[in-house]
Structure 1
């Protein structure tokens, strides 16, 4: 295990040394590290296993920290005043994505139960703006579009958590146990929210108070913020609640207790830690699942991945944006740039861990769909982000002024930093 860690650390250092050059190419960090993981597995340099000590813990902690950071950086009051596009994508587009995906997967995969199909759809519903970072960094793309995609990707993984948990339980037959629904609502969700809110509010208030009285140094405030995220996650797991829900709600409460500016200041180290863990997670994903997914390839699995990245995303986006007055080109652009990445990977790992433990017979096939979708998204969205953003920006700039000014794409929106970038989260 020590040798494997040394290889991963060496690759991170090597990538850092050429990261600026890589950023100017049609390559992204996820593309590089998924490929590195797959190649080291293929040549037997690093051979991890799902049962390898620390793999499941890495996935869980990574997702918890990212959920906390995304929600902590969200300006809730500002979002309430400027709902618009992100609200439609989250409140209309996200549920429709799960519903449509469940129907498509049930039709494509023989023998798949309705709950299993819904589970895969829920796992593949969150988007990851980091896979197409050029889209939210390209200033030629209207801020209204960039902000909508950024806020959506920052919040939809947290909103997808209850659905993923519920469908795992339904797919594995847990709902047949006495008192399942009460335990799920009260313990998994209710208790998780209570613990998360308590950790976020108390931790945030104490940090602000200590900072006001000159009792805390900056680095320790940042370390404490990371520890609040871990405490919410681990504490809720010990109490029998769901750690992911606790981490997400802890971030919301922490941001409310500290204010947006302080939340971003305190969260800087947590953000960097999440970025490091994300790099390791992409490598682990490539090493554990890519070669295996190729061996499990079927026509139905590949077709499911293609539809997950196209119809399953684009149709709900078109419906969600109906009546806004946005151009068809904008709907197509937003519909395409909904990459599936880190959240889907980590939810998928959760599926394997709990599905195998609960005797879910189709766990491997379900994960093959997830693996193919994520790999295809890493490549397709990473390769088309710069080109697509440039072409869309050119189209927008070429519009006559009077037409462009009347479009919702031209609306003024406040900067809202939610999802971290591969370098430093930009103001979008």
Structure 2
């Protein structure tokens, strides 16, 4: 064993030491960990000697995403979502598909060698947003509650929604490249999604049942109560994967089932899962910087740089603008929603899936574009999150309440923010 573990541990302790002072500053956890990874990566100090396709990198990234998918899905109240669907439904139902299409079209224009299916794969890889990278935005309580909760729900659900879309796109990209037949591609998609849903339902029911039964009959200790959700995510993944299903779909479905069954019980039981997921996300970003991004930097040309910039701007902001037409939302609100679509963990793991499981002729270009976009997003969204959230909140408060459109001023029911207890949102309007 080399010095990799020591660097990861020291970086984690170092950030934890100053984390209170760094809150609200441009130095976000993502910027810190990616930066440390670059410094100790293969192209700098060379401390990390892990292959990008190594089992340790894959296991870390996949375990992290599974926990995050479970935790994010479990905190979304589907009943509340049905009543407060305006912003999330538009961002997910219209904005997300348009973002994928826009990303695919741009990829086809800039990277002419990509097939149509490969361009769609790249569009899906960079469509999900990362709540952790936008945490300062979600933490700004002066924001209009509908906007804040809209971004909260979007980031909690879009990565889970994109997982089956990725497998569908990958299957047809491999079929188009001649790696597999069309019938085999369809069968793979059905198995990935079908067994993923089945495994997720089973894992979610078992975990939620244990929490409900253990709590009502006072069988379970408080410390072990916090362990059950993480074990539920692992159970769902462990059931689906051997059957040929997607462990990520399973973890996401398990989280939704878990949240739906135990929501009326009250209390907070996913805090440990979320906190472990957040720490592992930081470690994953460190490894991303050291092992994936560092050796890719020399492959980034003007086309990849342009794609990364466009992916964070026009590819995201134009679909959001279209999705918000007719809502009455004012220009700054639409721009704010459009800008805060940071790319992070899900895109990194999707890239690893492409490396590990797919055999696409132009995977190198797709990976370079993904890594460059994530790195740029970590930087620009990290630097702008807190100041732009404060500036937008000040702009919103500067207008009299009677002049605000209902879209922005009507209070929204709260979905719990990642790592935070439920709170009323009425004070944010």
TM-score (norm 2): 0.94
Q: Report deviation, 1:2.
A: 5.4
Say whether 1:275 aligns with 2:268: no
Q: How does 1:60-79 map to 2 (within 5 A)?
A: 60-79=62-81
Residue 18 of structure 1 aligns to a residue whose secondary structure is helix
Residue 340 of structure 1 aligns to a residue whose secondary structure is coil
What is aligned with 1:10? 10
Say whether 1:411 aligns with 2:410: yes
Q: Report deviation, 1:222.
A: 1.7
Of the three residues 167, 172, 187, the one matched with 1:183 is 187
For residues 349 and 33 of structure 1, the distance between their equivalents in structure 2, rounded to whole angstroms, comes to 19
The list of structure 1 runs, each at least 4 consecutive aligned residues, that deviate by more than 6 angstroms after superposition, is none
Q: Report deviation, 1:338.
A: 0.7
For residues 31 and 421 of structure 2, the distance between their equivalents in structure 1, rounded to whole angstroms, comes to 19
Of the three residues 341, 355, 378, the one matched with 1:352 is 355
Indicate the larger mover: 383-392 or 175-184.
175-184
Q: Residues 305, 13 of structure 1: CA spacing in aligned structure 2 closer, same or farther, 3 A cutoff?
A: same
Q: How does 1:369-380 map to 2 (within 5 A)?
A: 369-380=369-380
Say whether 1:287 aligns with 2:286: no
Kept in 1, the 8 Å contact 2:204–2:255? The answer is: yes
Matched positions, count: 420
What is aligned with 1:147? 149
What is aligned with 1:97? 99
Task: Summarize deviations over 1:55-111 as a string: whole Å, max 9, x none.
Answer: 101111111111111111111111111111011101111011101111111011121
Q: How does 1:154-193 map to 2 (within 5 A)?
A: 154-173=156-175, 176-177=180-181, 179-193=183-197
Residue 146 of structure 1 aligns to a residue whose secondary structure is helix
For residues 183 and 289 of structure 1, the distance between their equivalents in structure 2, rounded to whole angstroms, comes to 31
Of the three residues 325, 329, 335, the one matched with 2:328 is 325
Q: Report deviation, 1:394.
A: 1.8
Q: How does 1:69-148 map to 2 (within 5 A)?
A: 69-148=71-150
Say whether 1:361 aligns with 2:365: no
Unaligned runs of 5+ in 1: none
For residues 133 and 257 of structure 1, the distance between their equivalents in structure 2, rounded to whole angstroms, comes to 27
Indicate the larger mover: 215-224 or 42-51.
42-51
Kept in 2, the 8 Å contact 1:40–1:47? The answer is: no
Of the three residues 55, 60, 65, the one matched with 1:58 is 60
Kept in 1, the 8 Å contact 2:96–2:319? The answer is: yes
Indicate the larger mover: 394-403 or 223-232.
394-403
TM-score (norm 1): 0.94
Indicate the RMSD between aligned Cα atoms, in angstroms.
Answer: 1.7
Q: Report deviation, 1:181.
A: 5.0
Indicate the larger mover: 327-336 or 386-395.
386-395
For residues 179 and 91 of structure 1, the distance between their equivalents in structure 2, rounded to whole angstroms, comes to 29
Task: Summarize deviations over 1:132-155 as a string: whole Å, max 9, x none.
Answer: 322111122211111111110010
Q: Residues 258, 169 of structure 1: CA spacing in aligned structure 2 closer, same or farther, 3 A cutoff?
A: same
Kept in 1, the 8 Å contact 2:3–2:47? The answer is: no
Q: Report deviation, 1:361.
A: 2.2
Task: Summarize deviations over 1:253-273 as a string: whole Å, max 9, x none.
Answer: 1111211664x6221111111
For residues 298 and 265 of structure 1, the distance between their equivalents in structure 2, rounded to whole angstroms, comes to 47
